[in-house]
Amino acid sequence: MASLNLLPHPSPFSFFSSSLHRSRCNTLLLAPKPSQARPSFLVKSTAGVADPASYSSGYAGDTSDSISSLKLNLLSAVSGLNRGLAASEDDLRKADGAAKELEAAGGLVDISVGLDKLQGRWKLIYSSAFSSRTLGGSRPGPPIGRLLPITLEQVFQRIDILSKDFDNIVELQLGAPWPLPPLEVTATLAHKFELIGSSKVKIVFEKTTVKTGGNLAQLPPLEVPQIPDALRPSSNRGSGEFEITYLDSDTRITRGDRGELRVFVIS
């Protein structure tokens, strides 16, 4: 992935990824009273019922209950880790194991026939790359709470399957000298994406835009200049790839081109 180690990008901010409810026939078994001699019969109700498959990967062989249980196990494994920034080696192993169980239950992902599941705004709840305590993860990036007073707030991926826009949106707080309040900043790292095969996505960086919030919200967005190609490291050419290893209407798991595990939920 690119930016925020969600995917690579050439910006100086190199530290930076509808539920379909279908009406389903609900079959009710109506048995006769003990005094009745006629046999039981079936009545089909056409009332709209949320299809349990809409909360799973949609692959045969696994019930919605087992998928839901595995999803809860994964959410439990990554909770309290501050999206991976507070993860220990043991935490990393537990999160990876829980993700692999859900990936196995979900089966092979084929977004070439279900691209609409990618559509929307996704919230990052865990990234194994953040265990390095930097915003770059396995790529260069500023440290959190060390040399620079940077606090990571929320991280989102906004995906538009029609325009092929793929934006990494990162909310930050930058420390300021007392008695000034922290500066609220939202960095949007814009990319275009394309599918590679059935489950792999390639994104290409376009630009980084920074918007201030709070008392400075009235300021216009600032587009950050790109690093010239001649000065850009070979490992950061503005593109990256990741594989989607689990996907349903509200949960997505990806594995980055450097092995990074990321977990998203629909926002």
CA contacts within 13 A on the Cβ side of 45: 8
Give the phi and the psi of residue 142 in degrees, each rounded to 5.
Answer: -70, 145
pLDDT tens digits, residue range 88-111? 999 999 999 999 999 999 999 999
Of the candidate CATH numbers 3.90.1580.10, 3.30.420.10, 2.40.128.280, 2.40.280.10, the domain formed by 109-139+149-266 belongs to 2.40.128.280
- Cis peptide, bond prior to residue 142, ω within 30 of zero: no
Please determine, for residue 131, whether its predicted confidence score (pLDDT) is greater than 90: no
Please report, for residues 75, 84, 130, 167, 182, the alpha-carbon distance to residue 79 in angstroms, rounded to integers and kept in the order given: 6, 9, 14, 25, 26
In a 3-state reduction of DSSP, which class is residue 176? coil
DSSP symbols for 68-98: HHHHHHHHHHHTTSGGGTT--HHHHHHHHHH
pTM: 0.71
Please determine, for residue 235, whether its predicted confidence score (pLDDT) is greater than 70: no
pLDDT at 77: 97
Lowest mean pLDDT across 137-146, 176-185, 206-215, 220-229: 137-146
Average pLDDT, the chain: 78
Q: How confident is the model at residue 145 (pLDDT cuts 50, 70, 90)?
A: low
Beta strands in 7-164 (DSSP E): 26-30, 41-45, 120-127, 150-160
CA contacts within 13 A on the Cβ side of 78: 26
Please determine, for residue 48, whether its predicted confidence score (pLDDT) is greater than 90: no
Domain positions in the chain: 109-139+149-266
pLDDT tens digits, residue range 159-192? 999 999 999 999 999 988 888 888 999 999 999 9
Q: What percent of the chain has pLDDT over 90?
A: 54
Alpha-carbon span 36 to 191, nearest angstrom: 68
The more confident residue out of 147 and 201 is 201
